[in-house]
A and B are shown apart, each in its own frame.
Chain A
């Protein structure tokens, strides 16, 4: 790709440079597929190996596990000898009926909307890579960043159950214990988190065929620069090493 005037390559891969996944050090790879990082010892690849296949496997695992996770009871409340098992949705409905809309919304978001959003989002990104859809690249990256960020927040429900189990323990009077869906739900969270880890967001941009990157300054104090942005170089020359 001969888009740059100053340099022949636009991406690190086109220049034969690999980036260390762990410490982000650059290293010439050339024809090699794997080189140990001189700085931290991790294996450097151009892209994470088998990223698409692994991410598909994990996201489909999450999809399958999300059925028992949502349909089976996740928590059992024993009160005076009678026990009452509730699914995730039951818990949310309970909060809305009680009138605590805020907390109901938090649990609804963390336990139902976030997992759905993650699974659908990752599937969309994977499909777009496999069919080489070249539009919305930046939006897909932002979508992936959001998925990456919110991944861990789905553990909320599991933590609540573990805490209730410890705190509400009054023997026969009342106690709260976990129920089978908690296993599956934890599985969903783990699978989606690993899916976000195995996915390589650079694959989204490998489909990019836009000629040149627009150089623009942001309102905040961040520097934005590309290789060809020589004029900026002059402005910030004092920081050059």
Chain B
């Protein structure tokens, strides 16, 4: 713990916690695993303790990474209409939009549905793996920070709903045959959601910090 000597530190910073929703100072209680600490003023969840966070995060991110290439590059479905067939995969959502001249849309679609989900899984996997082995390097904090910033920019679940809307839109126009990619994508989504649900950021940060010293 490095204390900056500017002000009169009359509070032990380990004893207090500040709500990041409304800045209220609260007593730093340790909730039981699985429980949450809520701010009495604004209702923000101040602290959560997840059970067996590192192992579970590791398991979910690893499974997610295994599924990722199949979910992105295998065809998700085949459309059959009037003797014509057409297949598509998720990666081509980005490339096709790019080729049709909407570069900005293509970049955003690519980032939010292809690159950021991968980056999130990879970062979390690397951090969890290092913490599991009890190692901590200065890069670990940097990786974790990138993860925190990318958190809401990976939009697999929005993409999934988009996929459902698309299916409803075209199911009466053509016969739809679901391919491997579709099921791998659902698997990837479950793993990605699971990994962020199992992640206990507070514990991860604490471990990163203690490894540093």
Chain A residues whose C-beta falls within 8 Å of the C-beta of B38 in the assembled complex: 218, 222-224
- CB-CB nearest in chain B for A216: B40
B112 CB, nearest partner CB in chain A, Å: 6
- Is B18 at the interface (CB under 8 A from chain A)? yes
- Is A87 at the interface (CB under 8 A from chain B)? no
Which of A15, A174, A224 meets B11, CB within 8 Å?
A15
Establish whether residues A227 and B26, one from each chain, have CB atoms under 8 Å apart when the complex forms. Answer: yes
- CB-CB nearest in chain B for A149: B152
Which of B11, B21, B94, B148 meets A141, CB within 8 Å?
B21
User: Complex Cα distance A135/B40, Å?
Assistant: 17
User: Complex Cα distance A156/B165, Å?
Assistant: 9
B53-89: CB near A (< 8 Å → 1, else 0) gives 0000000000000000000000001010110101011
- Interface stretch (choices A22-30, A53-61, A124-132): A22-30
- Is A93 at the interface (CB under 8 A from chain B)? no
A1-37, CB < 8 A from B = 7-13, 15-17, 19, 22-32, 35
Chain A residues whose C-beta falls within 8 Å of the C-beta of B134 in the assembled complex: none
A15 CB, nearest partner CB in chain B, Å: 6
- Is B52 at the interface (CB under 8 A from chain A)? no
Given the known interface contacts A152-B152, A205-B22, the answer about A162 and B94 at a Cβ–Cβ threshold of 8 Å is yes
B interface bracket (residues with beta carbon within 8 Å of A) = 35 or more
Establish whether residues A162 and B24, one from each chain, have CB atoms under 8 Å apart when the complex forms. Answer: no
Establish whether residues A12 and B4, one from each chain, have CB atoms under 8 Å apart when the complex forms. Answer: no
Which of B23, B37, B102 meets A223, CB within 8 Å?
B37
Given the known interface contacts A10-B25, A40-B145, A152-B158, the answer about A170 and B17 at a Cβ–Cβ threshold of 8 Å is no
Establish whether residues B88 and A166, one from each chain, have CB atoms under 8 Å apart when the complex forms. Answer: yes
Chain A residues whose C-beta falls within 8 Å of the C-beta of B77 in the assembled complex: 167
Which of B4, B25, B43 meets A142, CB within 8 Å?
B43
User: Complex Cα distance A23/B201, Å?
Assistant: 8
Establish whether residues B40 and A177, one from each chain, have CB atoms under 8 Å apart when the complex forms. Answer: no
With A107-B165, A110-B161, A142-B43 known, 18 other A-B pairs at CB within 8 A are A7-B11, A24-B18, A24-B205, A26-B13, A29-B7, A39-B209, A162-B105, A162-B106, A165-B93, A168-B174, A173-B82, A182-B105, A186-B104, A187-B104, A205-B42, A222-B31, A226-B40, A240-B30
Q: Provide a sorted-by-A list of 16 A–B residue pairs whose CB atoms are within 8 angstroms.
A: A23-B141, A24-B201, A27-B4, A31-B7, A39-B208, A40-B141, A41-B141, A153-B161, A159-B162, A201-B22, A201-B42, A206-B23, A221-B35, A224-B38, A240-B29, A240-B30
